[in-house]
Amino acid sequence: MTEPSTQEPGDGTRAVRAGLPDPVKNEPTLPGPVFAAHFHLPGDVSGPYAYGRDENPTWTHLERAISELEAPGSSGVETLAFASGMAAISAVLFSQLRAGDVVVLPADGYQVFPLVREQLTAYGIEVRTAPTGGDAQLDVLDGARLLWLETPSNPGLDVCDIRRLADAAHARGALVAVDNTLATPLGQRPLELGADFAVASGTKQLTGHGDVLLGYVACADAELIASVKRWRKIVGAIPGPMEAWLAHRSLATLELRAERQSANALAVARALLARAGVSGVRHPGLPDDPSHGVAAGQMRRFGCVVAFELPSRAQAERFLDALTLVDDATSFGGVRSTAERRGRWGGDAVAEGFIRFSAGAENTEDLVADVLRALDEARDL
Ligand SMILES: *Cc1c(COP(=O)(O)O)cnc(C)c1O
């Protein structure tokens, strides 16, 4: 007789099964998208599904799946899906903060933060900022209501110690939210590290195919998540059922994608380190990276993004032109590698030759060869 296995299922096993309902004879394993603005509702209002801005069964399956990945084995975590990462981020900020509150934001976070900051300030909320690396958040926490962390940060790839900062914030009565976009729940689990909210854009590696905009908020506190849900209802920043379904379908391959893409990112980073003319190579998985120590303590995979600098804007543009397996495109996390000269947007404090590179799921040798060949072609003649 074989003993039933007591072993925890691995990430791949959890990813392929996450959020699936109990099997029903003659029904698909993952139920198809439910397109409904309203649901049949005779008599008194009861049951979960009444109106499509409040609840949708396709969201429910996806939200359960994300909860299972963000906090395996914990039954109290609830996730809410949103129309985009920014919808999820705004939902936490604007549902939790009131006029007179203080919020600490990353100084080097996602490029929309300066706009967010303006809006928060316009509502009478005091915004303080601190860079992601170096623990400077500790100096500005007094009196704060919310500490916002983005680790690894985009695009600089600095990392902060979530547990340490969450403990310090909680000791001062502040809530903690972590943007988990770059790591994905298979790379890092902020709720287990002490955060109150794990927030992310599902547009990036979570869904991984560059065809869906999505966001989510996961939280273990029933009152807090209820206030975020109230905000979603008021603002209506809800995902379409098709997007939610596509996202859930894509989760099944998250572990496969994350494994290959992390390995590719590390291989590209190593190859770049060995090249003259390439500077500032950053990837939290590199043993000598300034972020590696903290990252290794809290991350299970180091993500698919590599940052580096070429000596000039012109050389960076020639490099991007010369790549054949890597699309010149913004965003990151997709199965097809992308790269861009980040300075073209303005806003990020980066050099003209700064490249954000997102490793896809190509074969490692092919990707590294393409990068090295494009570097050769881009060199000054
Ligand atoms: C892309 C991104 C967002 C915004 O997500 P959208 O889905 O584009 O709204 C937020 N945070 C980080 C770290 C991101 O990379």
Q: Kindly state whether residue 3 falls inside one of the protein's structural domains.
A: no
Nearest atom in ligand 1 to the alpha carbon of residue 88 is 9
Is residue 38 within 8 Å of 52, Cβ to Cβ?
yes
Across the chain, the runs of DSSP E, i.e. the strands, are 78-82, 102-106, 126-130, 146-150, 175-179, 197-201, 215-219, 279-282, 305-309, 327-328, 338-341, 354-358
Predicted pLDDT at 348:
75
Q: Kindly state whether residue 188 falls inside one of the protein's structural domains.
A: yes
CA 322 to chain centre: 29
The verdict on 274 and 239 lying in the same domain is: no
Return the residue matching tokens 């939280």. 219
Cis peptide before 155 (omega within 30 of 0): yes
**345 phi, psi to nearest 5 deg:** -85, -25
Q: Kindly state whether residue 1 falls inside one of the protein's structural domains.
A: no
The verdict on 235 and 289 lying in the same domain is: no
Residue 263: how many CB atoms within 10 A of its CB? 17
Predicted pLDDT at 3:
63
The verdict on 40 and 148 lying in the same domain is: yes
Q: In what order do the strands lie in the sheet with 354-358?
A: 279-282, 305-309, 354-358, 338-341, 327-328
- Region class of 338: left (phi > 0), else alpha (psi between -120 and 50), else beta: beta
The answer, yes or no, to whether any atom of ligand 1 lies below 6 A from the CB of 239, is: no
Q: Kindly state whether residue 2 falls inside one of the protein's structural domains.
A: no
Q: Would you say the pTM of this structure is higher than 0.85?
A: yes
The verdict on 40 and 140 lying in the same domain is: yes
Predicted pLDDT at 4:
60
The answer, yes or no, to whether any atom of ligand 1 lies below 6 A from the CB of 323, is: no
CATH number at residue 17: 3.40.640.10
Q: How far apart are CA 300 and CA 296, in angstroms?
A: 7
Predicted pLDDT at 171:
98
Return the residue matching tokens 């990068």. 371
pLDDT per residue rounded down to tens, the chain (381 residues): 556 667 889 999 999 999 999 999 999 999 999 999 999 999 999 989 999 999 999 999 999 999 999 999 998 999 999 999 999 999 999 999 999 999 999 999 998 999 999 999 999 999 999 999 999 999 999 999 999 999 999 999 999 999 999 999 999 999 999 999 999 999 999 999 999 999 999 999 999 999 999 999 999 999 999 999 999 999 999 999 999 999 999 999 999 999 999 999 999 999 999 999 999 999 999 999 999 999 999 999 999 999 999 999 999 999 999 999 999 999 999 999 999 999 998 877 899 999 999 999 999 999 999 999 999 999 875
The verdict on 262 and 154 lying in the same domain is: no
CATH number at residue 327: 3.90.1150.10
The verdict on 221 and 265 lying in the same domain is: no
For β-strands 327-328 and 338-341, DSSP reports them as parallel
The verdict on 335 and 313 lying in the same domain is: yes
Q: Which of 229, 251, 273 marks a domain boundary?
A: 251
The verdict on 153 and 284 lying in the same domain is: no
Return the residue matching tokens 């790379």. 187
Q: Which of 207, 236, 251 marks a domain boundary?
A: 251
The verdict on 145 and 284 lying in the same domain is: no
Nearest atom in ligand 1 to the alpha carbon of residue 332 is 15
Number of domains making up the chain: 2
Nearest atom in ligand 1 to the alpha carbon of residue 109 is 13
- Which residue, judged by its Cα, is nearest atom 6 of ligand 1? 85
Q: Kindly state whether residue 273 falls inside one of the protein's structural domains.
A: yes
**Residue 210 Cα to ligand 1 middle (Å):** 13
Q: Kindly state whether residue 4 falls inside one of the protein's structural domains.
A: no
Q: How far apart are CA 285 and CA 280, in angstroms?
A: 14
Q: Which of 210, 232, 251 marks a domain boundary?
A: 251
Q: Kindly state whether residue 229 falls inside one of the protein's structural domains.
A: yes
The verdict on 225 and 368 lying in the same domain is: no
The answer, yes or no, to whether any atom of ligand 1 lies below 6 A from the CB of 358, is: no
Residue 184: how many CB atoms within 10 A of its CB? 28
The verdict on 193 and 302 lying in the same domain is: no
Q: Kindly state whether residue 261 falls inside one of the protein's structural domains.
A: yes
**128 phi, psi to nearest 5 deg:** -110, 155
The answer, yes or no, to whether any atom of ligand 1 lies below 6 A from the CB of 181, is: yes
The verdict on 173 and 274 lying in the same domain is: no
Give the range of the structural domain holding residue 297, as residue numbers without chain letter. Answer: 255-378
Specify the DSSP element, H or E, that contains 118.
helix 113-122
